[in-house]
Amino acid sequence: MTDVFDKRTRTRIMRAVRTAETEPEKQLAVALKAIGIRSRRNDRAVFGVPDFAFRKAKLAVFVDGDFWHGRAWFKSGAAPATNSAFWIAKFERNRRRDRLVDRELTRSGWTVLRLWASAVRKNPMLSAARVHARLRHLAPMGKGLSASGSSRRHLTSSAR
């Protein structure tokens, strides 16, 4: 099947796709703030530029878009109907890059948490709770629960 858009229109559409400050990232940021957790967003000082970085706890959180990271392709072999060879190669490159980032961060003493954008969209508070749990595991006694190292409050029993 050929593309329904001409090349110029398709290029314009694809350039408009955001790589930072996506809706799932915003939803997770709001959920984290609601439970008192602050983070650095898109921190260029951290390898791979994680969507959320917690420097004191050395936790890097990535919100991976289902399409761009080839979730359907790797899970069930479902490739896009249009320009399949291009997209499969792109998914493979993205996966290699993700693994490289994970490896380099791990070598540097960081922990990497990857969340699917669809999971964040479905339940941002559950995703925030996963981040909170990982932070608590990495930084016992509440240390390092925010980017600055101070946590204003912990999860309430109603948010668990």
What domains are there in the chain, each with its CATH number?
A: 21-159 (3.40.960.10)
pLDDT in tens, 131-145: 999 999 997 655 555
DSSP character for 40? E
pTM, to two decimals: 0.76
Q: Beta-strand (E) ranges in the chain?
A: 40-41, 52-54, 59-64, 111-116
The reported pLDDT for the residue numbered 113 is: 97
The strands making up 40-41's β-sheet, listed across from edge to edge, are 40-41, 52-54, 59-64, 111-116
User: 3-class SS at 63?
Assistant: strand
Mean of all residue pLDDT scores within the chain: 82
What six digits make up the tokens of 103? 């490896």
What six digits make up the tokens of 53? 């970085």
pLDDT in tens, 140-160: 655 555 544 434 333 333 333
